[in-house]
Amino acid sequence: MAECKAYGCTNNKRRNRGKHFFCVPRPIDSTRLELAKRWLHNIGTSYTIQTFPFGRNSVVCEDHFKPTCYKRNLQAELLGTKPLCRLKADAVPTEFGHKKSVPPTPITTKMESFVPCANINIS
């Protein structure tokens, strides 16, 4: 069963026929490896790049992509049909109900970077 792999999402191809589902990019080169890592990080799965079952059934549904992630389909726009069907090459899922937004990088406050000035010799 091709079910959306995003954490907390229960959409699947059989029940949600009107929705588009996108395969998680396979890490076939270094660019796609980075992209695949970002997808896996964002969808909140416990899989890693080594354990994720890449394939036709490992999909993410359209709910997790911003409209700007999609390629424009002028034919569909002119015909008035649903244009959201192709993702841009660098599109990453960022829209999730289970968390408000995905920060680009985790913000850490490191106290160890604070160096006391005890060794300064004032003479």
Q: Which is nearer to Zn ion, 17 or 110 (CB)?
A: 17
Give the integer Cα–Cα distance in Å for 50 and 38: 14
Among 24, 12, 21, which residue's Cα sits nearest to residue 85? 21
Interface stretch with Zn ion, choices 35-43, 59-67, 70-78, 84-92 (CB under 5 A): 59-67
Q: In the structure encoding, which two tokens stand for residue 120, read together?
A: 């300064």
Q: Are 83 and 65 in contact (CB under 8 A)?
A: no
Among 7, 8, 11, 81, contact with Zn ion (rule: CB under 5 A): 11
Among 24, 61, 87, 91, contact with Zn ion (rule: CB under 5 A): 61
Q: By the criterion CB under 5 A, which residues form the site for Zn ion?
A: 4, 6, 9, 11, 61, 63
